[in-house]
Structure 1
Amino acid sequence: MSGAGEALVRRAVIAGTGSALPARRVSNAELAQQVDTSDEWIVERTGIRFRHIAAPDETTSTLATDAAREAIASAGIAAAAIDLIVLATATPDQTFPASATKVQAALGIGDCVAFDVAAVCSGFLYALQVAESMIRAGSANRALVIGAETFSRILDWEDRATCVLFGDGAGAIVLEAQETAASDGRGVLATRLHADGRHNQLLYVDGGPSTTGTVGKLRMKGKEVFRHAVTNLAAVMNESLSAAGLAAADVDWVVPHQANARILDATAKKLGLAPEKVIVTVDRHANTSAASVPLALDAAVKDGRIKRGDLLVLEAMGGGFTWGAAVVRF
């Protein structure tokens, strides 16, 4: 516990969580009717059993809005109290304006700061640090941080190596400025982000407004991505814990990017963490890119595993490569 008279610090505290998934849930068996694959093949290599696929009237912004509404209700505040929206996505509704502004309008929020962040699967971690920094600096008091994707729109449904891996969805948190004890208070304690653009061709989309004038399709070299992911994620988790003055033994829960069950297992082993401390939703959500970390967080909050005061490490790696981790006292 903090000592009497200990100085308080301004931190960004998670006040609420929320999520949204498209109505349509697609099993491996259903996919096997469309492409040359099988339930056994997918489960053995990835751990994925189901994914949600957006209907034509479900978009990144509609899913983001639904997740945001849940997070706002969970925080017990009015939407009008939000003064910052940071939406992480690689699949925006439009090239511009930012999908965050569509969420703002849908929630009935008047003047606030609203923009998108593009860091693919690491997007939520990037958005979290941007929002946390703005709150800590005093330029925002309550922020919606959202990860939302409709990756089904950019998949090549004839490429069995990639189309089985991804799904659609959205997750959101409300970050709120609070004065907490420096030693044991709640909030975001440390974040560390990285990028290395030399690996562009290992995970990318083969299109864009200034190159092909088209949206393009996702392309990936899975084995190379796997190798980089395990090494980079273990390193950045240790880096963020060290920055917070903590160790892996202090962690209650790891909330990872849900790309592949094998990556989750390998990363936990590299850190010496028990598998039961890792929140896993990849089996039912597949890889939802920037949405995967907040989706997993909300699932574990709703089922009672994550409780107030728990120490969490959030981590992700995605195309770019980009990767990052955050240490959060929930």
Structure 2
Amino acid sequence: MTAGNNLRAVVIGCGHYLPERVVENAEFEAALDTNDEWIRTRSGIERRHFAAEGETTSMMATAAAQAALDDAGLTADDVDAIVLATSTADFTFPSAATMVQAQLGMKQGYAFDVQAVCAGFVFALTNANALIVSGQARRVLVIGAETFSKIMDWTDRSTCVLFGDGAGAVLLEAQNGTGAPTDRGILSTDLNSDGRYRDLLYVDGGVSTGTSGYLRMQGNQVFRHAVGKLAATATTAMERAGVTTADIDWVVPHQANIRIIQGTAKKLDLPMDNVVVTVQDHGNTSAASIPLALSVGRQRGQIKQGDLIVTEAIGGGLAWGAVVLRW
């Protein structure tokens, strides 16, 4: 399909994958000075999933991608590109996306990773949208997948209880629209980053240290930035789409902390009844959290075709952004 002014990247399939192992808050009590109530009241998290030994990001991403393909009634042969958001790829290189490409049996097209930590899926959606509206791809698998359990410091109660593993995916297809906000598909995007805040959320490993490292976070400082930046990017994206909060059916936010989710909704003047919340069951799955929430929200019967959705996320970098799309 050639590029055109009214091409839209429309979601035609979605799916997710969660590892079998479910870790309740109480499991942390034996090794850490913490308890279920402490974790719940500060984060809203009740449980999370951890990958099994040998279960990798690319494996989970492949399962979620296959679920999205099955949902759309298509195969890997129908896909032009894969954009995978992750900060926990199996190896330094090759990209996890190319490993997913191989595991799906996809011999054509191209695949690459996007790394924007918890904002990764928003960045990946924006890149996939650009590929579609520019005519460089007709169908793109957009995946968020993480195994954050592999980079946790299990002695740090302020971080290790917050994160989980999992993957989610959507399949986007180029479809002709009218150019109006009533079109299905991605209507607008907004991306931002500010590298001055690197020390607020980072992993202290990499090629410079020769170790994989552990996640380090100044939680209070991240919280201070999160609500304002998330509300601002969502507002910008809505303005670009020509819609208002009154038009929004669902906010599907990055699932990091219930307090951030509630604070952002309040700042946007949106009731929590219009917010898809999964943080209690999955914890913070970083780049996987939004596609996981989209898939689970649809399974629950919350998200339906034609619904107007805002997704927003913030992560290490700092990097943050939002996407407005009609399901």
Q: Same fold (TM over 0.5)?
A: yes
Match of 1:91 in 2: 88
Match of 1:72 in 2: 69
| Residue identity in the other structure for 1:17 | C
Which of 102, 105, 130 is the equivalent residue of 2:102? 105
Write out the 4+ residue segments of structure 1 that deviate beyond 6 Å after TM superposition: none
* Alpha carbons of structure 1 residues 8 and 96: separation in structure 2 relative to 1, 3 Å: closer
Which of 258, 262, 271 is the equivalent residue of 1:261? 258
| Fraction of identical pairs, as percent | 57
> What is the alpha-carbon distance in structure 1 between the residues aligned to residue 240 and residue 5 of structure 2?
19
Structure 1, unaligned runs of 5 or more: 1-6
| Residue identity in the other structure for 1:246 | V
Which of 126, 129, 133 is the equivalent residue of 2:130? 133
Q: Determine whether 1:47 maps to 2:44.
A: yes
> What is the alpha-carbon distance in structure 2 between the residues aligned to residue 197 and residue 110 of structure 1?
37
Structure 2, unaligned runs of 5 or more: none
Q: Determine whether 1:280 maps to 2:283.
A: no
Match of 2:197 in 1: 199
> What is the alpha-carbon distance in structure 2 between the residues aligned to residue 239 and residue 180 of structure 1?
22
Q: Determine whether 1:187 maps to 2:180.
A: no
Deviation at 1:76, TM superposition (A): 1.3
Deviation at 1:283, TM superposition (A): 0.2
Deviation at 1:8, TM superposition (A): 7.5
Contact 2:77–2:108 at 8 Å: present in 1 too?
no
Match of 2:298 in 1: 301
| Residue identity in the other structure for 2:71 | S
> What is the alpha-carbon distance in structure 1 between the residues aligned to residue 106 and residue 31 of structure 2?
42
Query: Which stretch has the larger CA shift, 72-81 or 167-176?
Result: 72-81
SS of residue in 2 equivalent to 1:280? coil
Contact 1:8–1:179 at 8 Å: present in 2 too?
no
> What is the alpha-carbon distance in structure 2 between the residues aligned to residue 142 and residue 205 of structure 1?
33
The TM-score normalised by the length of structure 2 is 0.98
> What is the alpha-carbon distance in structure 2 between the residues aligned to residue 148 and residue 326 of structure 1?
18
Deviation at 1:246, TM superposition (A): 0.7
Match of 1:118 in 2: 115
Deviation at 1:303, TM superposition (A): 1.3
SS of residue in 2 equivalent to 1:306? coil
Match of 1:292 in 2: 289
Match of 1:3 in 2: none
